[in-house]
Amino acid sequence: MAKVALITDTHFGVRNDSPAFYEYQKEFYEDIFFPKLAEEKIDHIIHLGDMFDRRKYTNHVILYNFKRMFFDTLRDMGVTMHLIVGNHDVAYKNTNVVNSPELFLGEYPNIIPYIQPEVIRIDNTPLALCPWVNSENYKQFEDFVQNCNADVLFGHYEIIGFEMHKGAGACDSGLNGNIFKNFEQVYSGHFHETSIQQNIMYLGAPTEYTWSDYGCTRGFYLYDTDTKKLEFVENPYHMFHKIYYSDDMDINSFDYGALHGKVVHVIVPEKENQLQYDTFIDRLNAVDIYQLDVIDNSQYHFNEEGADEDSIKSENTIKIVDSYIDNSELSIDPDKLKTMFKELHAEAVALED
């Protein structure tokens, strides 16, 4: 019997190679992931794709940091990682040939990238691994899943009918889940929200990357090759935080330090004590929050029908577009795009007035 760690969609270099997101991810790996591997004496990991975030390039400093923090640690622990190539790991949409794991990780003999379908054996148990499916390898993928002699398949797929991320609805393109009917269990990366349909399970991401992840459980799994059961290991750390401000808050005992380097929304339904509110915001800014947004609804006029609808729609429009940009694969700086949209939105509102 052997236990294998399963993790997917680590997205190293996420949010434009953000140092703050690196520190958040580092805390999870150093405090939770590596200690659990040591405790359970894990010597094999299956990574189900999207090890890296950038499709076409990466930041040298971030790559250096992740090599020291993550890949050096696995090598020193004697852990072998079977790394399935995901769509964020490849430079082109129609081939897996140019990929970041092979380009960046050749110095690690314990890291084995898979750009073609293959059956491996761990504890004499056959396990099927299959990378991102594209136009070049679809026929190979189809033949593999139809003739494979393993009961369990690990891959990185876009499957019709599964939720892409919280609130996004079901995916309406990609593979039909029936193609995996020959397998007892299918585990996939790609979509960051955990979900299960019949014999297919999306494992979900281990850490948070956008506001779509807020309130979602994140972590990784241990897979028992004998019982074929999963054990979930939860990530207790959060990057995204919402604070509902109230004049009744005890701002002197509030844990400001816990928000250092985090993304924070302060939502203000109403306020009368302006001095206390200003003091609270000043103290938040003093702990060097990565991104602080204040949604001040106290300015809206309330009546029997509720808040001013135009004000709420304006706020929601910006938040919806921000979320869309965060979850899109864009070749330009998303922060610049958000700024451009906000400026255009302000001009449009001014014209309406």
Count CA atoms within 13 Å of residue 306 on its CB side. Answer: 4
Q: Three-state DSSP class for 154?
A: strand
Beta-carbon contacts of residue 336 (< 8 Å; ≥ 6 apart): none
Which of 283, 297, 292 has the alpha carbon at shortest distance from 249?
Answer: 283
Write down the residue that tokens 């700086």 correspond to: 333
Distance (Å, rounded) from C-alpha 213 to C-alpha 238?
A: 9
Distance (Å, rounded) from C-alpha 289 to C-alpha 233?
A: 27
- The DSSP H or E segment spanning 294 is strand 291-296
Distance (Å, rounded) from C-alpha 290 to C-alpha 37?
A: 30
Beta-carbon contacts of residue 71 (< 8 Å; ≥ 6 apart): 105, 108, 111
Give me 152's structure tokens.
């369990």
The strand pair at 152-156 and 125-130 is best described as parallel
> 80 phi and psi, to 5 degrees?
-95, 130
Which of 92, 51, 91 has the alpha carbon at shortest distance from 71?
Answer: 51
Write down the residue that tokens 């897979």 correspond to: 223
The number of beta carbons lying within 10 Å of the beta carbon of residue 271 is: 17
Domain layout of the chain by residue ranges: 3-234, 239-299, 308-353
Encode the chain (353 residues) as per-residue pLDDT tens digits. Answer: 689 999 999 999 999 999 999 999 999 999 999 999 999 999 999 999 999 999 988 899 999 999 999 999 999 999 999 999 999 999 999 999 999 999 999 999 999 999 999 999 999 999 999 999 999 999 999 999 999 999 999 999 999 999 887 777 789 899 999 999 999 999 999 999 999 999 999 999 999 999 999 999 999 999 999 999 999 999 999 999 999 999 999 999 999 999 999 999 999 999 999 999 999 999 999 999 999 999 988 765 444 444 444 444 445 566 667 766 776 656 567 777 776 776 566 555 444 44
Dihedral angle, C-alpha 310, 312, 314, 317, nearest 10 °:
-130
Give me 236's structure tokens.
């207790």
Distance (Å, rounded) from C-alpha 180 to C-alpha 157?
A: 11
pLDDT of residue 279: 97
Beta-carbon contacts of residue 191 (< 8 Å; ≥ 6 apart): 158, 162, 163, 164, 165, 171, 202, 204
The strand pair at 195-197 and 125-130 is best described as unpaired
Distance (Å, rounded) from C-alpha 45 to C-alpha 37?
A: 9
Give me 234's structure tokens.
């939860």
Distance (Å, rounded) from C-alpha 111 to C-alpha 79?
A: 9
Distance (Å, rounded) from C-alpha 147 to C-alpha 120?
A: 15
pLDDT of residue 237: 98
Q: What is the pTM of this model?
A: 0.84
pLDDT in tens, 193-218: 999 999 999 999 999 999 999 999 99
pLDDT of residue 345: 61
Distance (Å, rounded) from C-alpha 352 to C-alpha 103?
A: 52
Pick the CATH number of 3-234 from 3.60.21.10, 1.10.645.10, 3.30.70.2860, 3.40.50.10190: 3.60.21.10
What residue spans of the chain are helical by DSSP H?
Answer: 14-17, 19-28, 34-39, 60-66, 72-77, 100-104, 138-147, 274-286, 309-326, 334-352
pLDDT of residue 277: 96
